[in-house]
Structure 1
Amino acid sequence: MPESTLLFIAEPQSVTSVFSPLKEAGFQAGLADNLAGAINFIKKSKPCLIFTRPVMQGYSAQALLAEAVNIENFPPVVVFSRNGSADEAQRFMELGARDYWLEPLSWEKIKLMLPDEKPSSMPSADQLGTADKPAAPEQKGTQGRYQIIGQHPAMARVLGLAKQVAKSKATVLISGESGTGKEMFARFLHHHSDRNDKPFVAINCAALPEHLLESELFGHEKGAFTGAINRKLGKFELASGGTILLDEITEMELGLQAKLLRVLQEGEIDRVGGVETVKVDVRVLATTNRAIEETVKEGKFRQDLFYRLNVIPLKLPALAQRGEDILLLAKFFVNKYCTEYGLSPLAFSEEATNWLLGYEWPGNVRELQNLMERAVLLAGAGPIESKHFLNDPDAWMPDEAHTEGAAPTEEQTANADGVAAEFAVMPISEMEKKLIIKSLDQTSGNRTKAAELLGISVRTLRNKLNDYKKQGLDL
C-alpha cells in the first residue's frame, strides 16, 4: 500500500543496506537516480517518505523540492549527505526539506520516522521535523520549520528551557525587546509540543480597542452589538486543542484582563452577548516587550494575571548581547536572500564583519534581517561591505553616479551579471519584478525552472505573475 512505501534517490550502494530491515518491517522501497524517475514514482506509488542525496549527476534535491507545489500530498523529504554542512542544512530546510542527515543511513534513524502499525497514523510533517539531527547542523541552531539559531550561552539557556517545557501545558511568558524573536519562540514551543497537529492562533493585543479585542478573543453571538449579524467564534475556540499566542499582552485593558484570568483558571469562555459557557482546551503563550513587573507595580497589569501567565518565564537576550550569534544570523539571512533572489553566494569583508559585531542593534534580529536583505541586493558580486548596510544611497552608489546625468560605465554595468548596477536605485519590489522577468527569459518561460533559479516555489512565482498582470504588465 502507498503508506508503506519509501523512495530513495541515491546511488544503490549507499542505500541498499537498509532495504532488508525495511522489508522485514513490511515496507517497500523504490530507487531513483534522476528527477523524472522520482516524480513518476511519487505520482504512481505515493510514498510516505523520500530520502534523497543533495546532488547527483543531472539531479538536485532543490529541483525535487521545487516540484512539491505541483503534486498533491507531496511526501516529507529527508536530505542526506556524505559531507554535510550547517549552511547546506539550513538551505534545504528553508526550501522545504523536513530533515537533513549525515551518512551513513541507518535503520535505527529511519524507523523513527516510519508510520506505525496503522499507516493512517503517520506523524505529521512537523513531527517528522523533530527526528534525529546531524551534529554539524545542530551546532548552528535548532533544525526544523522554526529555527532558533544561536550558540551564545544566554541563548542556549533560554532554548534549553523552551525545549524542556514545550510538551507541557504550562503557560509561558516570553519577554524581550522588540525584534528579538518572541513570536518565533512561541511557534517553536507549539511546533515541539504534543499539540503541533492542532491550530496555532496568534492575536496582537495592541492592535484592537478593548471591545473589539474581547470579541476577537471570545467570539460573539448574533445581535450582540451593532454589526454582529452572525455568530462569530473567537480565537480561543478556533485554537481549541492547540495553542494561542497573546502578543503584547501588557497592552490589554484591565477589564479584559479579568476575563482572561477566568479563562486561565477555569478553562471556559463566554461569548459576547452569549448565555452559555463554552469549555476550551487551549495552551496559552504570551509575549511582552515591556518590563512587566514594573507595569504590575504601576497598577496597569493585574498581579494575579501576571502570576498565572508567568509560570514559565522566557527572557530573550538582546542581539547586541549575543556576540558571535550576530555573524551566524547574518550569514543565515544572506544565504536565504541570495537563494530567494537567484544570486550567487556572498561573503562579508573583514570590515563588514567588524561593523556587524560593533553595532548596537537597537532593532535586534528584525533589524539584522532587513539589513541583510538590503546588503544582498546592493552588494552585486560582493563582498558585502558595511556601506551596503546603510540606508544612504551616497554611501554605496559608485562615485560616477553622483554626477547628475552621468551615464554608467562598463564596469558599473558588468558586475554580478548587471544586477547591482541595473537595480541599484530601484525599490525592492521593482528589483524583484525584474529578476523574475529575467529568470523567465533565461528559462524560455518555464515557470518551474524559473522558480528553481530564483529559489522560490512555483506557487509564489505564479502569485507574483498574477499581481504583475493586474498591474497591466503583459506576460
Structure 2
Amino acid sequence: MSRILVVDDEDGVREFMAEALEDQGYEVDQASDGAAALAMLEAAAYQLLLTDLKMPHIGGMELVRRIRAEQPELGVIVLTAHGSVADAVAAMKLGIFDFLQKPLESPTQLRLLVARALERQRLEALREATRERPDADPLSYGDPIMDPVVGALRKVAVTDATVLLEGESGTGKEVAARAVHAWSRRADGPFIAVNCAALSASLLESELFGHEKGAFTGAAARRRGRIELAAGGTFFLDEVGELELDLQAKLLRVLQEREFERVGGNQTIRAEVRWIAATNCDLEAMIAAGRFRADLYHRLALFPVHMPALRERRRDIVPLATRLLQRIGSELGRPQLRLSNDAHDVLEAASWPGNVRELANTLERAAILADGDALGGELLFALPGRPRSARVQARAHAALGDGAPPTLAELEQQAILAALEHHDGNRRKAADALGIGLRTLYDKLKRYELS
C-alpha cells in the first residue's frame, strides 16, 4: 500500500487527513512543519506528499522546491486557505498534482483526490516500463523442464521472500525476476535492476545506496541510490557473486535490518523493497574459498531457484528464436525475416553454452548477413572476414550433430575461447559478451589453464 506524508501546522487538520487516509489502508506519516517534513522525506520513501501552503519557517512552496530536485517522481497535493493566482501558477510550475481548499468538504473529497494522484503515478510508471520493455518475454514456450520452475516462481511471487536465481549466464534470470515482480503485489511499484559486474566497487556502492553532497570528489549534489528509488517495488541484484567482500557486509546489513545510509551520510533510510538476486557463480564454492560471505548467502538463498540452460529445454529453442528474430527484424527494418527448416535443425542441435544471449547474438549476426528473408542454417555460425579456427569449426560441427556431445566444462571452455577470438583477445569485451564479470573470466581462464 502507498505511503503518504501529511504536512500541516494545524494539529486538527493534519490528524483529520491522516485518519481519513488510514481508514482506506494507506500508511500515513505526519509532520507539523516543513523542516520536519524534509527530514522525514530524506529518511524514507513516500509516494505522495500532502502539504499546507502557509506554514511558519519553511512553507509548502519552499518544501516542494527543495524536494523536487531530488525526488521529481514524488506526487504532491497542496492544501491552502489563502491561495492566490500567483501561488497556483508557481505551484503548477513545480509539478504539483492538484490543490485542496481548506476547510475540506469531506473525507471522501480527500480520498478521491489522493486515489487519483496515486493512480496517475501508477499509470506513468506503467507507461515508462512499457517504453523500456514493450512486450514481456515469457519464461517458457512449453518445455516440460520449465514447469516446476514457473510453478515455484509463481508461488514465491505472492510473498515478500528473497529469491536467489541460479544458473549459467544468459539463461533468462532477469526475465524470471521481472516475472516474479509482475506476479507480486508490488507489481505497480518500480522494478530496479543493478548489475554488480558492470561497475567498480566504489561506483557500485554509490549506485546502490546513493551519496550526500561532498561525499567524494565529484559529488556535487545529493543523489538517491537505486535501493531508495525501488521503494514499494522490487530490487534485482544481478551477478551478486561479483560483489567485493566489504560491499557484501554492507548489503548484509540492508537485508537484515532493512535500512542503510547514503555514502557520506548519517541519516538512516528504510529499504522498503523486495529482493531478488541472481548469479552464475557457485556461491557455495566461493564461500569455501573465502570469497563470499556465508551469512549473506543464507540471507539471499531463502528461496533458491535454478534456471535450466537452453540446451536442457530443447522445445523452447525454436519458438524462442522465432520471437527473438521478430524483434531483431523489427530493429533492422526487415520484419519479414524468418527461419528456414534447416535453421530449425541447427538451432535445436546446437549446445548454446552462452544460452539465450548467445542465441540472440547468433540470430542478429545471421540476419545482417542474410541476403533474403529466410535465414538458412549455414549462416548461423558464419564469422565473416576471418578464417574459422579449429575450435570454432569443431563447435559448428557439434551443433550440426557431428561427434559425441561435449561436457559442460568443455562447452564453457568453447564459449570462452570463441568470445576471446571474436574480440581479438580483449578480455573485458569477451567477459561482457559472455555476460560475466571480468574477475570471473580471469578465474575461469586460470581454472581451465587457458591463455
TM range (shorter): 0.5 to 0.7
Amino acid at match of 1:240: A
Query: Which of 226, 244, 247 is the aligned partner of 2:238?
Result: 247
C-alpha distance 251-337 of structure 1, shift in aligned 2 (>3 A): closer
> Residue 224 and residue 363 in structure 1: after superposition, are their counterparts in 2 closer, same or farther (change >3 A)?
same
Distance 1:208 1:332, change over 3 A: closer
Q: Is 1:262 equivalent to 2:286 in the alignment?
A: no
Aligned to 1:333: 324
Corresponding residue number in structure 1 for 2:149: 158
For the Cα contact (< 8 Å) 2:137–2:175, is it kept in 1? Answer: yes
CA contact (8 A) 1:338 1:344 kept: yes
DSSP 3-state at the match of 1:195: coil
What is the Cα deviation at residue 280 of structure 1? Answer: 2.0
Is the CA contact 1:146–1:187 (under 8 Å) kept in the aligned structure 2?
Answer: no
Partners of 1:126 and 1:313 in 2: how far apart? 33
Match runs of 1:315-464 below 5 Å: 315-343=306-334, 345-393=336-384
- Structure-to-structure mapping, 1:20-419, within 5 angstroms: 120=116, 145-343=136-334, 345-393=336-384
Deviation at 1:128, TM superposition (A): 9.8
Q: Deviations over 1:117-176 (max 9, x none)?
A: x994869569999xxxxxxxxxxxxx9634323212222221221122122211111111
Q: Distance in 2 between matches of 1:165 and 1:308?
A: 15
Q: Deviations for 1:334-385, whole angstroms, at most 9, x for unmatched residues?
A: 2333344443634433322221111111111111112222333433434321
Residues 311 and 355, structure 2, Cα contact 8 Å, conserved in 1: yes
Alignment partner of 1:393: what SS?
A: coil
The alpha-carbon distance between structure 1 residues 159 and 144, as it changes in their structure 2 partners (threshold 3 A), is: farther
Segments of 5+ residues of structure 1 without an aligned counterpart are: 1-115, 130-142, 396-475
Paired residue type of 2:208: L
Instruction: Give the partner amino acid of 1:190.
Output: H
Structure 1 residue identity aligned to 2:203: L
Partner of 2:399: none
Change (3 A) 1:282 1:334: same
**Cα displacement (A) at 1:391:** 3.0
Residue 122 and residue 392 in structure 1: after superposition, are their counterparts in 2 closer, same or farther (change >3 A)? same
- Preserved CA contact (<8 Å) 1:269 1:278: yes
For 1:273 and 1:344, the matched residues in 2 are separated by 51
Distance (Å, rounded) in 2 between the aligned partners of 1:269 and 1:286:
18
Q: Output the CA distance in 1 between the equivalents of 2:335 and 2:175.
A: 28
Tell me the CA shift for residue 390 of structure 1.
2.3
Letter in 1 for 2:350: Y
- For normalisation by structure 2, the TM-score amounts to 0.54
Counterparts of 1:126 and 1:274, CA distance in 2: 31
Q: Given residue 197 of structure 2, which amino acid in structure 1 is its aligned partner? A: A
| CA spacing shift, 1:286–1:323, aligned 2, 3 Å | same
Counterpart residue identity of residue 284, structure 2: E
Question: Aligned partners of 2:286, 2:295: CA distance in 1, in Å?
Answer: 13
- Deviation string 1:232-284 (CA, Å, 9 cap, x unpaired) is 21111111111111111111111111111111111110222222211120111
Q: What letter corresponds to residue 269 of structure 1 in structure 2?
A: F
The corresponding residue for 1:422 is none
Aligned AA for 2:294?
A: Q
The C-alpha deviation readout for 1:10-47, integer Å capped at 9, x for no partner, is xxxxxxxxxxxxxxxxxxxxxxxxxxxxxxxxxxxxxx
In the alignment, the residues of structure 1 paired with residue 311 and residue 228 of structure 2 have an alpha-carbon distance, to the nearest angstrom, of: 39
Instruction: Give the Cα separation in 2 of the matches to 1:192 and 1:179.
Output: 22
SS at match of 1:240: coil
TM-score by length of 1: 0.51
Q: Deviation per CA, 1:281-303, whole angstroms, max 9, x where unpaired?
A: 01111111111111112111111
Q: CA deviation at 1:327?
A: 0.9
CA contact (8 A) 2:366 2:382 kept: no
Q: Using a 3 Å threshold, how does the CA distance of structure 1 residues 181 and 197 change in structure 2: closer, same or farther?
A: same
- Structure 1: distance between partners of 2:158 and 2:135: 16
Partner SS state of residue 304, structure 2: strand
